[in-house]
Structure 1
Amino acid sequence: MKRTSFSGQVADIDLKLLRVFKTVVECGGFSAAEVELNIGRSAISRLMSDLETRLDMHLCLRGRSGFQLTEHGELVYKTTQELLIDLEKFRANVNALHRRLVGELTLCLTDNMLTDANSPVTEVLGTFHQQEPEVKINLQVASPNEVERAVIEGRANMGIIPQHHLLPGLEYHNLHTETSLFYCGQRHPLFAVPNAELDMPLISKHDFIAPSYTHLVLLKEQFPQLKAAASSYQVEGIATLILSGQYVGFLPEHFAAIWVEKGLMRVLLPTTLNYQVPFKIIVRRDARPNLLRTALLKAFSAT
């Protein structure tokens, strides 16, 4: 069958092909997009070829040198982002005409929140789905900075982050508070030191892991004695270094509990070395009205 070139009218097949193209670009290539799209590389290649035929232009280069967009590909990717955001705005406006909520809402969570018993996220999402079964939740997990970026760029309707600063483009809503304590691993010299002999001068002699994310400024002000010898952007990275037996550092209490229970970590000076982090729901300040976002925010505020 002869394929027809793109005529200026966007059909359902065009939207499908553009969504595949957007995913491939954001994954950095065909191989990485296989898991995200849940289809094989050959099928992705075929769909991309169909899109290039529909648009009558070459969108990307793929080969031994890796995946790379052409100039046309860069422009089509940017336009695709704008198109899909506009479609979501259209869906949100149509929802305003109905009493029932229908559509898709993207919520982006900070990683390593699941073990926090103080977090109401799982309870709220479960109740929300019972009350609004026709709303599809697209749940994504990323680092705090990536969550902020997704909300600001309009790729996520809402985000949940540990608050460390206030960005003018975001609105912040209270959620819960997380407690972090100070730990060493089983193989660390401090692990066997009695509590009565522990103090800040002794602890400050040991290599400290500085979190490269939100709380570093806060920690420098609150605990200036601690000198960083390593750093990590992820909570799991800090835990890995602590378990190596060569470093000490802060971890969320809920996250470290599994290793404490197994005797692989120990809390050091919990009444002194601790800090609280408020978790906030964030939405873009200038975002257009969206019934789905408003309904989920209302569900969170009711907890």
Structure 2
Amino acid sequence: MARRKEALTGSLGDTDLRLLRIYRRVVECGGFSAAEVELNISRAAISMAMSDLETRLGLRLCQRGRSGFALTDEGAEVYAATLQLLAATEGFRTRVNGLHAWLKGELNIGITDNLVTMPEMYITDALSALKERGPEVRINIRMIPPHDIELAVLDGSLHTGVVPALKTLPGLDYLPLYEETSRLYCASGHPLFEAETVSDAALAHCDAVLPAYAQRPEIKAQHEPLRAAASATDREGIAFLILSDRYIGYLPTHYAERWVRDGRMRALAPQTRGYVTRYCAITRKGAPPNRVLESYLEALNALIAS
């Protein structure tokens, strides 16, 4: 009694798919010789691949020899199954690639105020790239203080945020974005605007507007010698008070540039009065997978690296 050959066992792998693709091309070409050109491999390599496939399947797939090439009944069944399998594989690949090509959902992002005038348009350009990749993505921006952004990212109500790097929280990941330079300014109607030199003593006698939000120690040191006469919760509030001609105060150079260009502000003692603030994009560690957020961060990383 003839021994029954063992049926296909185990999972199909890349090697099996490669052999099946060769087999399909051999069948469609009508033999090994014609398939050589299509596959760009030798006839001997094709013959070896067919033998390996027959061994793997435990079936005789075709007759080959002087009489020509012909499929066995089992070979015809395997060919039909091969077409179904490879079509399903290609369909899977196309569908997954389609998921990458078209995004749907929301991106909820919190941003510290007055960063839109930064020369490096990383956030703006990354949002543009995200919208290009997913036209149906809805982008929701909240302009709120840094501490509120951190809390919202931690509790999941925001996907990401942009905050000054004042401290590092263990539950957040940080991506460095910007370095922002700030200078001490006065407006055109202020007594120091026309002064050729500005001494520390002169600055100490002027009313100053100080920020009412957290600052690093080295930034606080820049404000301590000033006479605190007003406060503001954001940079726009500081600008309002400086433009009243009654106060001096620190502003980012990119934000003050419009008024400097128009002759409405000037920087005071720029060689000694200034500091740098570093900004980071933050995300929550261990957050559930989110393709919209991942696509946005990919675009952001690409812009930073370029």
For normalisation by structure 2, the TM-score amounts to 0.62
Q: Cα distance, 1:140 vs. partner? A: 2.3
Instruction: Choose the corresponding residue for 1:175, options 161, 174, 177.
Output: 177
Match of 1:284 in 2: 284
Which contiguous aligned blocks of 4+ residues in structure 1 show a shift greater than 3 angstroms?
95-100
Match of 2:220 in 1: 220
Instruction: Choose the corresponding residue for 1:188, options 187, 190, 197.
Output: 190
Cα distance in structure 2, aligned partners of 1:162 and 1:281: 9
| Preserved CA contact (<8 Å) 2:104 2:137 | yes
Q: Cα distance, 1:192 vs. partner? A: 1.5
Look up the equivalent residue of 2:175 and give its one-letter code: H
Match of 1:103 in 2: 105
Match of 2:247 in 1: 247
| Preserved CA contact (<8 Å) 1:118 1:178 | no
| Preserved CA contact (<8 Å) 2:222 2:274 | no
Q: Cα distance, 1:96 vs. partner? A: 12
Cα distance in structure 2, aligned partners of 1:289 and 1:220: 39
| Alignment deviations for residues 115-164 of structure 1 (CA, whole Å, 9 cap, x no partner) | 12123111121122112323222222222222222212211100111221
RMSD: 2.2
How many pairs does the alignment contain?
207
SS in 2 for 1:112: coil
Q: Cα distance, 1:223 vs. partner? A: 5.2
Cα distance in structure 1, aligned partners of 2:97 and 2:140: 20
Cα distance in structure 2, aligned partners of 1:96 and 1:231: 53
| Preserved CA contact (<8 Å) 1:109 1:147 | yes
Match of 1:210 in 2: 210
Q: Percent identity?
A: 38
Instruction: Choose the corresponding residue for 1:132, options 128, 131, 134.
Output: 134
SS in 2 for 1:246: coil
SS in 1 for 2:151: helix
Cα distance in structure 2, aligned partners of 1:178 and 1:224: 20
Cα distance in structure 1, aligned partners of 2:258 and 2:156: 36
Match of 1:113 in 2: 115
SS in 2 for 1:191: coil
Cα distance in structure 2, aligned partners of 1:254 and 1:97: 40
Match of 1:81 in 2: none
For normalisation by structure 1, the TM-score amounts to 0.63
| Alignment deviations for residues 8-49 of structure 1 (CA, whole Å, 9 cap, x no partner) | xxxxxxxxxxxxxxxxxxxxxxxxxxxxxxxxxxxxxxxxxx
SS in 2 for 1:121: helix
Give unmatched runs, 5+ long, in structure 2.
Answer: 1-95
Look up the equivalent residue of 1:296 and give its one-letter code: Y
Match of 1:148 in 2: 150
Q: Larger Rg: 1 or 2?
A: 2
Cα distance in structure 1, aligned partners of 2:156 and 2:98: 23
| Preserved CA contact (<8 Å) 1:96 1:291 | no
Cα distance in structure 2, aligned partners of 1:283 and 1:245: 40
SS in 2 for 1:130: helix
Cα distance in structure 1, aligned partners of 2:209 and 2:265: 15
Give unmatched runs, 5+ long, in structure 1.
Answer: 1-94
Match of 2:161 in 1: 159
Look up the equivalent residue of 1:178 and give its one-letter code: E
SS in 2 for 1:114: coil
